[in-house]
Amino acid sequence: MWETLQEWDKTLFLLLNGVHHPYWDYFASIFTGKEAWGLMYASILYVLCKNFDWKTVVLTTLAFALVIVVADQLCSSVLRPCFARPRPSREPGIMEIVHLINGRRGGAFGFPSAHAANTAALATFIILFFRRRWLSAFFIAWTLATCYTRVYVGVHYPGDLLAGIVTGVASGAAVYGIYRLALRLARPAAARSLVERPAGMAHPLLVANIGLLTVLVIGLYSLFLWQTA
């Protein structure tokens, strides 16, 4: 059964990875990078500072960091060594036909995807924290788009990403539960009120707007790179 699923996964990967274009090469390579999203991460910190006292901001920022650490280490240090599944970019028999960007193959193993886990964990925490429909829709779309770029650049099978999403959602939900417990024990009711009733939180959609602006900038910059190449 496992071998059959792997073959289906490989077939789907080759189908998706085989559709590419120079413009999307630039777009995917930038979109999948962590550096491109620095302004969006900064906007989250800005929203926290506008709504909470500094102690709650520090506690919440630590929770955001913990989300990434838990998801990343669970994939990289616990699950990957257990499954030891090669990335498609290092899989004998198909690695020669995988479409790569700038020759980047990634590490030896790719199941589950730490990139997908980190993204899904952060998105889950944000969805549970802000509880805004449009913000949730943006981060779900952001997670799925990020996962697709990992197939596009040739470093993950779809199954790697699905497992990463499951790991990330579980990590994000677990850390959010711990965060709520820590907030209840460590902070007064006034500091907890916006977390418990986030409808009164100011500027939450700024995060989604900055995210959409980032996508637009990536698209325009990719177009510039393609046209001037």
157 domain residue, yes or no: yes
Q: How many domains does the structure of the chain reveal?
A: 1
Give 171-210 pLDDT, tens digit per residue. Answer: 999 999 999 988 888 766 656 677 777 777 889 999 999 9
23 domain residue, yes or no: no
Contact assessment for residue 152 and residue 141, using Cβ atoms and an 8 Å cutoff: no
70 domain residue, yes or no: yes
14 domain residue, yes or no: no
What pLDDT was estimated at residue 23? 97
25 domain residue, yes or no: no
134 domain residue, yes or no: yes
Share the mean pLDDT of the chain.
Answer: 92
Give 88-142 pLDDT, tens digit per residue. Answer: 999 888 989 999 998 888 888 899 999 999 999 999 999 999 999 999 999 999 9
Tokens of 62: 């630590």
120 domain residue, yes or no: yes
Distance CA 208, CA 193 (A): 23
Give 14-60 pLDDT, tens digit per residue. Answer: 999 999 999 999 999 999 998 899 999 999 999 999 998 888 899 99
CATH number for 74: 1.20.144
Per the structure, the complete domain to which residue 58 belongs is given by 33-228
Query: Which residues, in sequence order, are CB contacts of 167 under 8 Å at separation 6+?
Result: 71, 74, 75, 79, 112, 117, 120, 121
78 domain residue, yes or no: yes
